[in-house]
Structure 1
Amino acid sequence: MSDTADTADTADTAAGEPLLQAHGLTKTFRVPRSASGSTRLHALDGVDLTVRRGETLGLVGESGCGKSTLARVLLMLERPDAGTVRYDGVDPFALRGKPLLAWRRRVQMVFQDPFASLNPRLSAGELIAEPWRSHPDLVPRPERERRVHELLEMVGLRPGDARRHPQEFSGGQRQRIGIARALALNPEVIVCDEPVSALDLSVQAQVLNVLTDLQAELGVAYVFISHDLPVVRHVADRVAVMYLGRMVESGPAEEVFTAPRHPYTASLLSAAPRPPAERGDGRERRIVLSGEVPSPTDPPSGCRFRTRCWKAEEVCADRLPADEPAPDAPQHLAACHLPLEPAGGGARR
């Protein structure tokens, strides 16, 4: 049996098990003094997250909500001020030396901009092989050219493309090279930070199909960060929604998209385009939020969304809401004192 088949069988056996877990992550940054007098920007505030083997977790929310900071913490590019990260039960922030180097193979990243994320001085083959300079034991030197060709073919490119440079490729082809580079270390989790937002729609579909096919073949898990809700619905098994540094809703993708429980999630979904078959009788209205987006240097007390929420009451200002499961869906959590009805009543205001 081939190495790829062995990997896929192992992934199928372990599919669904928690692989990467974060609990209570808090991260602040020092910034110039704001109008409120604060010099701290609250990027993450008590964030919990679980990534299971072989799944795609969609991470959504408006710009500035903390998605990219969370990704950088999961990749150990930032150290949290508080909270824990566990990878297969191990705290990666406690590792040093060779154990840390070995851990870094297991979590890789595909960047947003395929034009800026590839060194134009290197050929495609050199870019893909570059990670092996830090991990020389992973692929013996005599085998590297063959492995580069295999990775190129896995992402839909030709072995002969190894000699070409990034400027000779289209945007979609460059992103395929970025995916191949991320796969070079045989990771178990790939963080995809807006991986298709810089591409044309037709090319987006091709790159998404590549990611889906690779997941089916290799069993890799994705943390898929995106503003594009239809794309997230297409690729994600589960969805987590962030607002102002906090996780406000999470659950199986189809449940979150068809029956949002948090008012913020409902407002996001009401603004997203939907296919004609899902537009109902035409009475659905977009939820237009009032008020300004609060500053992360001076977040509101209690529920962070209360200053823009049409359901807000006094209790929302008094304390932070806890994650509460839906009555008939224990995996569907919403951090809201006044959650919407299970049928998604808030989307028909």
Structure 2
Amino acid sequence: MSEATAAARQEHASTAVPLLEVSGVRKSFRVARNAAGHNRLTALDGVDLRLGRGETLGLVGESGCGKSTLARVLLLLERPDSGTVRFDGTDPFSLKGKDLLAWRRRVQMVFQDPFASLNARMSAADIIGEPWRTHRDVMPTAREREARVRELLDLVGLRAGDAFRYPNEFSGGQRQRLGIARALALNPDLIVCDEPVSALDLSVQAQVLNLLADLRQRLQVSYVFISHDLSVVRHVADRVSVMYLGKVIEHGSTEDVFERPLHPYTEALMSAAPALDVSGAVPRGDRVVLRGEIPSPLDPPSGCRFRTRCPHAVDLCAATAPPLRTRDDATSARLEPHEGLCHFPLDS
């Protein structure tokens, strides 16, 4: 991408229109009927998100909370049952033909497994250039494609000579860099990163995370960063959304969510994250231990979804769905309000 393109994106980022806006998205799937007679699995239940240009939104939560389903909706691989998704002010689900094909250039994906996501029979150059076989007008000539492959390899920290190597000749970290280069081939505005470093060694994780941060600064690309590793999310994200059983139960700036959580579930997540105290002088606070298992999305609890595991739950939590509580303080005001779905937020 040229400097002029990156500069144009940065100028556009100052406008009020967000790059991505998700409002009230619901998605369910028909499955085998369970013992209680339910056969609709609710993966997403009224999800709201907002992402600005050049920002990174961290999406965290336990397995089965709906993170990957939401990613598939953002990539138009799943159509929501209700709600709206607007990308740069446009509903992508309303697009067809050439308009839809042009939109798909703007949203790309970096996958979790760098070994399974690359075709073992294709060279690095073929893998990077595969999107151009569909979007032929992006790089119409062989000379342009060869030059762009070398540029992308250099951009992600690989050598020009690596273009002729095959995936089995790369390490795990190098494969993920190759996957990132492929995602950048069409100059996207948004990259959905689904656990992009969970399959890598810790030292390699840091290198890939630093690469993603550098690319965001240089290219003004936005990320939706899905991860179960809270330390990784804290390192890369500007804002964080915490999901539980298909709902976003807390949302705010990374500092607010990690340092001053509103929801008891977020507090438990932060408590469970490993922490290293090299001095040994400052003990950690009391660990919050959740009891019980995550309820089935086939038959979620009434009222508050988290009440069956919440140490603060009362009768009100079972009878009524919690309202959206907003904390207004100087830190949250820098980005947007710190919000949580809870009858009794932790600061009350």
TM-score using structure 1 length: 0.94
Spell out the pairing of 1:1-349 with structure 2 (5 A cutoff). 4-15=2-13, 17=16, 18-141=18-141, 142-276=143-277, 281-282=282-283, 284-328=285-329, 329=332, 331-341=337-347
Moved more, 4-13 or 130-139: 4-13
Moved more, 283-292 or 215-224: 283-292
Moved more, 269-278 or 103-112: 269-278
Q: Is the 8 A contact 1:57 1:224 kept in 2?
A: yes
Question: 1:276 Cα shift?
Answer: 2.3
Q: Is the 8 A contact 1:53 1:221 kept in 2?
A: yes
Q: Matched residues in 1 for 2:276 and 2:284: separation? A: 15
Question: 1:280 Cα shift?
Answer: 8.1
Question: 1:327 Cα shift?
Answer: 3.3
Question: 1:7 Cα shift?
Answer: 2.4
Q: Which runs of 5+ in 1 are unaligned?
A: 343-349
Q: Is the 8 A contact 1:7 1:219 kept in 2?
A: no
Per-residue CA deviation, residues 26-54 of structure 1 (Å, 9 max, x unaligned), is: 11111111122111111000000111100
Moved more, 234-243 or 329-338: 329-338
Question: 1:8 Cα shift?
Answer: 2.4
Q: Matched residues in 1 for 2:269 and 2:24: separation? A: 25
Q: Is the 8 A contact 1:15 1:55 kept in 2?
A: no
Question: 1:277 Cα shift?
Answer: 7.7
Q: Is the 8 A contact 1:303 1:319 kept in 2?
A: yes
Question: 1:13 Cα shift?
Answer: 2.1
Q: Identity of counterpart residues, as a percentage?
A: 66
Letter aligned with residue 133 of structure 1: R
| C-alpha RMSD of matched pairs (Å) | 1.5
Q: Matched residues in 2 for 1:309 and 1:15: separation? A: 39
Runs (4+) of structure 1 exceeding 6 A deviation are 277-280
Moved more, 311-320 or 113-122: 311-320
Q: 1:285 to 1:136 in 2, by over 3 A?
A: same
Q: 1:301 to 1:144 in 2, by over 3 A?
A: same
Q: Matched residues in 2 for 1:319 and 1:280: separation? A: 44
Question: 1:292 Cα shift?
Answer: 1.9
Q: Matched residues in 1 for 2:228 and 2:2: separation? A: 32
SS in 2 for 1:306: coil
Moved more, 323-332 or 221-230: 323-332
Q: Is the 8 A contact 2:106 2:187 kept in 1?
A: yes
Q: Matched residues in 2 for 1:24 and 1:271: separation? A: 30
Q: Is the 8 A contact 1:301 1:318 kept in 2?
A: yes
